[in-house]
Amino acid sequence: MLEKVNNRKLQGQQTKEKIYTTAKAMFEEYGIENVSTRDIAKEVGVSIGAVYLYFPSKENIVACMIEEDALKHNSEFMEFFNLLDKEKPASDLIVEICVFVNDFMQRVVGHQKFTMFYKSMLDFGVQGNPNEVIKTVLKAIIEVYELGVARGELKEANSMEVALQIKTILCGLEVEWCTDKNNYFLQKTKEMVTLLMQNYISTH
């Protein structure tokens, strides 16, 4: 009896994985908006009900893809952060961090996937798991800001509040990017974060 239950669980996991990998391949080949849940079911060779059993909507599959990208981002970001030249001015380092984050968004996540994910959050309440990414980036910004304060480069301030202001800028730029992918995304990131950091540069 237990063996049958375990076999069913294994088969279920294999079916879920096949649906997910097939959907990813179809999204990449045809574009997310051009692939329906029914198309995915047909390609996998299962009923549409089987797809819905594991993924309530196509948007949930996209959310899983974002989670996968988030894990990749954390690994790549930590490698980038550890190689940063910490002798540079802290304000410049914070700008570099922000440009890296949004460059990753363009380069790895991509406009189509991110736009679909953002729309799914608004329309369907679908949630991905970018929280760990956000925590990692905020922690890095806080660390660099406090380094700048210790060196007398930056004003004494609540480093978490500064990091959250930067997060708001990045999120706003990402939303703009959803509506216009040719809006000088990285240039605006650099300009806006630089402008914010000018408010915190110590004059002593």
Q: CA 41: distance to chain centroid?
A: 27
**Ranges of the chain whose pLDDT falls below 50:** 2, 124-126, 129
Question: How far, in Å, CA of 56 to CA of 74, rounded?
Answer: 27
- Mean pLDDT, the chain, as a whole number? 84
Q: Tokens representing 27?
A: 């999204």
Q: Tokens representing 103?
A: 């460059």
- State the greatest distance between any 2 C-alpha atoms of the chain, in Å, as a whole number: 75
Q: In the CATH scheme, what is the code of domain 59-198? A: 1.10.357
- pLDDT (0 to 100) of residue 117: 65
- The residues that bridge with 201 in the sheet, in sequence order, are 154
105 within 8 A of 189, measured Cβ to Cβ? no
Where exactly are the structural domains of the chain? 1-55, 59-198
Question: How far, in Å, CA of 79 to CA of 48, rounded?
Answer: 41
- pLDDT (0 to 100) of residue 112: 72
- pLDDT (0 to 100) of residue 132: 67
Kindly report the CA angle at 57 between 55 and 58, in degrees rounded to 5?
Answer: 95
Q: CA 31: distance to chain centroid?
A: 19
Full DSSP string of 37-70 = HHHHHHHHTS-HHHHHHH-SSHHHHHHHHHHHHH
Architecture of domain 1-55: Orthogonal Bundle (1.10)
Residue of 66, 88, 93, 103 whose CA lies nearest to 177: 103
Q: How many CB atoms lie within 10 A of CB 174?
A: 19
Residue of 143, 177, 179, 181 whose CA lies nearest to 160: 143
- pLDDT (0 to 100) of residue 71: 74
* Residues 34-70 as b or e (16 or more Cβ within 10 Å = b): ebebebbbeebebeeebbeebbeebbbbbbbbbbebb
**pTM for the whole thing?**
0.72
- pLDDT (0 to 100) of residue 124: 47
- pLDDT (0 to 100) of residue 126: 46
pLDDT tens-digit map of 31-72: 888 899 999 999 999 999 999 999 888 878 887 887 777 777
pLDDT tens-digit map of 91-106: 999 999 999 988 887 8
